[in-house]
């Protein structure tokens, strides 16, 4: 059986009716399971995670974009998270029995359909990008929704699909970025301060692109960050009354949650703050927690001859995953959420749900 995951991010985290209507547009498609709906009030953003067979997931993704873009008005949207559209980004991720090439085909087909039928500018990113300049989501989204009108006037930013004119429809919907990628772990690291400045400093030290500073001659120079396949920014979350380092791990096989957490602990000392815990946004591959658990067991000089449950519990305790929200492995690990699988392959790892 071919199973693909889709994780569209919508620029709405406060209006429960809109969030519910997008959820129902996904649930209405047979063969799709809505696995997680993660809302953020301060970011004003909701991440929907669903999975199923490719055709069903394609239909659910289009339904969600159609519903969300009809309900969300970007001209009045505010929020802490970078964004440039009602459906800001919509990636396809291979889970089992499906190749990255097939996910790219889904992204291209969805982009064409959204552009033609919904009249929304669409940019392709990551593995579906048609040029290296558009591979990076942050580069496409640079300037956010507020820069979109001017961006559309520039030939180098002509959308891959859909209109290139900034009309009333585009003013309301913004633009959508669609692509195909490997698992991305959205992971927030908490600090013991309400001030986002130390969180931003930590983010600059650990993310791959690093940070820009002035040298002794006043010239701007870039200092590379510590971690590959890591993106990060600092922000304040009023719900938690604290700042966080918001991290995206674009390949957990290269940089895992434990790598990001330990690098943040080291950087926090120089910033005069402490890391108090962390949280996973959306779902996570089981292997990412296994990797973290084994890392901390070995660090404690313990035996790794223990159960999967014990390894995951060690990861959760070591990373402080229960600090700001309850961490339930059976709700947060994607393999445990997909029904009807036994011994299926996800990213080269065997899935055996408990």
User: Tokens at residue 232, please?
Assistant: 């990060």
Contact 230, 214 (CB under 8 A): no
CA distances from residue 81 to 90, 104, 122, 141, 182 in whole angstroms, order as listed: 15, 26, 19, 11, 22
Q: 301 CB contacts (<8 Å, ≥6 apart)?
A: none
DSSP letter string, 97-117: S--HHHHHHHHHHHHHHHHHH
Contact 333, 51 (CB under 8 A): no
Per the annotation, the verdict on 81 as an active-site residue is: yes
Q: Among residues 81, 258, 259, 330, which one is catalytic?
A: 81
Q: Helix, strand, coil proportions of the chain in percent (round to 5)?
A: 40, 25, 35
Q: Secondary structure of 183-213 in the HEC alphabet?
A: CCEEEEEEECCCCHHHHHHHHHHHCCCCEEE
Q: How far apart are CA 187 and CA 245, in angstroms?
A: 8
Q: How far apart are CA 69 and CA 18, in angstroms?
A: 10
Q: How far apart are CA 164 and CA 79, in angstroms?
A: 25
Q: How far apart are CA 209 and CA 180, in angstroms?
A: 22
Q: How far apart are CA 233 and CA 72, in angstroms?
A: 25
| CA atoms in the 13 A half-sphere facing the CB of 33 | 13
| CA atoms in the 13 A half-sphere facing the CB of 79 | 28
What are the DSSP E strand ranges found in 26-126?
32-40, 45-52, 87-96, 122-126
Residues belonging to the active site: 81
């Amino acid at each position: 059986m071919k199973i693909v995951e889709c994780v569209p991010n919508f620029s709405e985290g406060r209006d429960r009716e809109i969030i519910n209507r997008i959820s129902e547009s996904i649930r209405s498609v047979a063969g799709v399971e809505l696995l997680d709906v993660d809302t953020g009030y301060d970011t004003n953003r909701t991440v929907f995670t669903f999975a199923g067979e490719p055709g069903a997931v394609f239909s659910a993704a289009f339904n969600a974009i159609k519903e969300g873009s009809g309900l969300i008005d970007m001209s009045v949207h505010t929020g802490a998270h970078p964004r440039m559209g009602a459906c800001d980004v919509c990636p396809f991720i291979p889970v089992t029995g499906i190749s990255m090439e097939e996910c790219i085909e889904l992204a291209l087909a969805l982009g064409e359909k959204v552009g033609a039928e919904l009249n929304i500018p669409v940019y392709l990113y990551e593995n579906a990008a048609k040029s290296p300049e558009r591979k990076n989501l942050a580069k496409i989204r640079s300037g956010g929704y507020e820069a979109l009108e001017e961006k559309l006037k520039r030939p180098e930013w002509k959308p891959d699909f859909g209109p290139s004119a900034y009309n009333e429809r585009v003013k309301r919907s913004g633009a959508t970025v669609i692509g195909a990628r490997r698992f991305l772990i959205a992971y927030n690291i908490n600090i013991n301060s309400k001030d986002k400045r130390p969180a931003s400093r930590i983010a600059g030290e650990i993310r791959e692109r690093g940070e820009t500073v002035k040298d002794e001659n006043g010239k701007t120079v870039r200092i590379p960050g510590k971690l590959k396949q890591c993106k990060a920014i600092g922000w304040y979350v009023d719900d938690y009354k604290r700042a966080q380092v918001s991290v995206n791990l674009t390949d957990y096989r290269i940089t895992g949650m434990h790598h990001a957490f330990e690098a943040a602990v080291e950087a926090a000392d120089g910033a005069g703050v402490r890391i108090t815990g962390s949280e996973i946004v959306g779902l996570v591959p089981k292997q990412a927690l296994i990797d973290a658990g084994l890392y901390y067991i070995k660090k404690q000089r313990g035996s790794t001859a223990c159960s999967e449950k014990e390894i995951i519990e060690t990861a959760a305790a070591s990373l402080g995953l229960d600090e700001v929200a309850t961490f339930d492995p059976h709700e947060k690990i994607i393999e445990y959420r997909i029904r009807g699988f036994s011994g299926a392959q996800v990213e080269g790892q065997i899935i055996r749900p408990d």
